[in-house]
């Protein structure tokens, strides 16, 4: 058996793990290892912003599926998760949005003191290296994570902004202002037209000599002795067992799906569920795997009358432009602008995002149609529905059971808000500004004047935005998995540092908030 010892072990080299590992290794006296099941991030598609869907279903993706979803006409939903250095930051649409002030103030009020907007805002700044023209003092400018505007924005994105102006929709000062309400362009995690993941910014960018990056190791369980996490047991690509020991702490950063799975495989979780799979319960924690939240979107797609969309991205000219100087449509992050809106006057902060995608975004963009089209993606930012992650078996090689519970909130408010958002999207497409562009509906069976038809459309075509959070929730109550310092309750030397610790999903694409959480966690671990 191969055994190594470190001060800190970080499980998962993704959006959170890369950050916390690199920050802990700032202490030259500490020996740190970050362990990644996947391999290096050297696939050509990783660096090309628009190419992210081509990585879905490959060896770089855990390629999960949900259970059949009653709220979505019994469909199973694809759940891409990065199995690669950089994790999902190497597979996502590189949108950089922090969230609304109300998100983090809500965390603190709900039982996570120390996580107000004013508490976390410095950690966003610490991460950011914002380039170009920005609002004065809004962003950090010397962090590891590059944040840039889309390098070659499309003409039709400007038309979308003009259409929103025509309707009198408010302009946001910036998509990352404390109050993000309104219409804005979406910044990206890119550098000079290329994706900039946490592997780029933190693992390579900070260059820690005392940080071991151990890829190709699938962690199978956390080792616990006398109530303390002492290390992990992993398997290499040949199936050989590798044991890594931690003198100080084990930090679990495997994401909102794999972190609760790994806790349960290690005997930490709901005792009855563990017993069903023959796993000895080391620490009963009923909250492990509960509280799964995700952003669901409903698409409104029309054919485009002009050849001005991302359908041209596959042309030789577009590829030549990207190879020559990192310009052209391949630099697009797909979602170039958005309207963050409240679905009714009852909501003081946005609960919907209407993203503008200059393409027909269907089937996760894996095999994009050749036709020019426009998509308005209506995203439910504050879902009331909750789901869970459970084990299928006691084998680490079996995918976990993922049940987001989409559209199953008892009052049916999630469905109603998506329908309201589709009505706003329809108004945007009906403006004079978009009239020369917006053609026939992509889905001819959708009758926007018929409520039953709209509901059928949502249930049969709504899909994930890949923002899973909440399955190892932080808090001070008995159902919380970790405390506000991200320590697993009842197990010494073990923390969860990733999106699973978020108590409520932010009103934003979640990668920036995950990086922020890891930045702050590093300070908590070091006692700073």
Q: What are phi and psi of 504, to 5 degrees?
A: -140, 140
Torsion-angle region of residue 271: left (phi > 0), alpha (psi -120 to 50) or beta? alpha
218 has catalytic annotation: no
93 is an annotated ligand-binding site residue: yes
**Coil/strand/helix, residue 76:** coil
Token pair 């808000």: residue = 417
Torsion of CA 483, 485, 487, 490, to 10 degrees: -40
DSSP reduced 3-state for 330? helix
Query: Do 244 and 35 form a contact (C-beta atoms < 8 A)?
Result: yes
Q: Whose CA is closest to 49, among 492, 481, 365? A: 365
Beta bridge partners of 238: none
Is residue 425 a contact partner of residue 378, using CB atoms and an 8 Å limit?
yes
User: CB within 8 A of 99, min separation 6: which ones?
Assistant: 180, 506, 507, 508, 512, 513
- Residue of 60, 457, 467, 468 with catalytic role: 467
Q: How many CA atoms lie within 13 A of 443 on its CB side?
A: 19
Nearest-angstrom CA–CA distance, 76 and 208: 42
Residue 219, annotated as binding a ligand: yes
φ/ψ (deg, to 5) at 246: -120, 120
Q: In residues, how long is the chain?
A: 528
Active site residue 509: yes
**Which single residue is written with the structure tokens 């740190």?**
32
Ligand-binding annotation for 95, yes or no, is yes
Residue in 520, 508, 518, 92 with CA at minimum distance from that of residue 338: 508
Backbone angles phi, psi at 454, to 5 degrees: -65, -45
Give binding residues for FAD as ranges.
92-95, 219
Give binding residues as ranges.
92-95, 219
- Residues involved in catalysis: 467, 509
């Amino acid at each position: 058996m191969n055994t190594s010892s470190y001060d800190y072990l970080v499980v998962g080299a993704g959006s959170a793990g890369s950050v916390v590992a690199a920050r802990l290794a700032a202490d030259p006296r500490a020996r740190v290892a970050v362990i990644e099941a996947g391999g290096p991030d050297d696939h050509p598609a990783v660096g090309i912003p628009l190419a992210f869907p081509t990585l879905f279903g490959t060896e770089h993706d855990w390629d999960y599926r949900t259970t059949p979803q009653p709220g979505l006409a019994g469909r199973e939903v694809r759940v891409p998760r990065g199995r690669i250095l950089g994790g999902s930051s190497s597979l996502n649409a590189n949108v950089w949005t922090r969230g609304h002030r109300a998100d983090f103030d809500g965390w603190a009020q709900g039982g996570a003191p120390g996580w107000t907007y004013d508490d976390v805002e410095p950690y966003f700044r610490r991460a950011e290296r914002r380039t170009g023209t920005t609002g004065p003092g809004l962003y950090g400018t010397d962090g590891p994570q590059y944040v840039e505007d889309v390098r070659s924005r499309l003409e039709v994105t400007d038309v979308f902004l003009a259409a929103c102006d025509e309707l009198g929709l408010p302009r946001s000062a910036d998509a990352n202002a404390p109050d993000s309400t309104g219409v804005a362009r979406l910044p990206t995690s890119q550098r000079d037209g290329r994706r900039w993941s946490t592997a780029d910014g933190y693992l390579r960018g900070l260059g820690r000599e005392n940080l071991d990056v151990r890829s190709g190791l699938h962690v199978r369980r956390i080792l616990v002795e006398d109530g303390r996490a002492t290390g992990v047991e992993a398997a290499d690509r040949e199936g050989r067992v590798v044991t890594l020991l931690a003198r100080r702490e084990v930090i679990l950063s495997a994401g909102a799906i794999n972190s609760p799975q790994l806790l349960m495989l290690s005997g930490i979780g709901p005792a009855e569920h563990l017993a069903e799979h023959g796993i000895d319960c080391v620490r009963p924690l009923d909250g492990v795997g509960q509280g799964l939240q995700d952003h669901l979107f409903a698409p409104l797609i029309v054919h485009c009358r002009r050849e001005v969309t991302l359908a041209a991205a596959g042309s030789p000219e577009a590829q030549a432009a990207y190879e020559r100087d990192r310009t052209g449509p391949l630099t697009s992050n797909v979602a170039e602008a958005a309207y963050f809106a409240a679905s009714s006057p009852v909501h003081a902060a946005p609960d919907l995002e209407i993203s503008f995608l200059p393409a027909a975004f269907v089937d996760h963009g894996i095999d994009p149609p050749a036709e020019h089209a426009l998509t308005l993606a209506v995203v439910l930012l504050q879902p009331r529905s909750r789901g869970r992650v459970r084990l299928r078996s006691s084998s680490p090689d079996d995918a976990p059971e993922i049940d987001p519970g989409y559209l199953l909130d008892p009052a049916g408010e999630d469905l109603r808000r998506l329908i309201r958002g589709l009505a706003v999207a329809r108004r945007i497409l009906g403006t004079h500004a978009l009239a020369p562009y917006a053609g026939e509906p992509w889905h001819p069976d959708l009758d926007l004047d018929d409520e039953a038809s709209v509901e059928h459309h949502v249930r049969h075509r709504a899909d994930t935005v890949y923002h899973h959070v909440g399955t190892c929730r932080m808090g001070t109550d008995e159902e919380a998995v970790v405390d506000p310092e991200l320590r697993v309750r009842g197990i010494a030397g073990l923390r969860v540092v990733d999106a699973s610790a978020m108590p409520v999903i932010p009103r934003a694409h979640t990668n920036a908030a995950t990086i922020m959480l890891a930045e702050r966690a590093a300070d908590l671990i070091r006692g700073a």
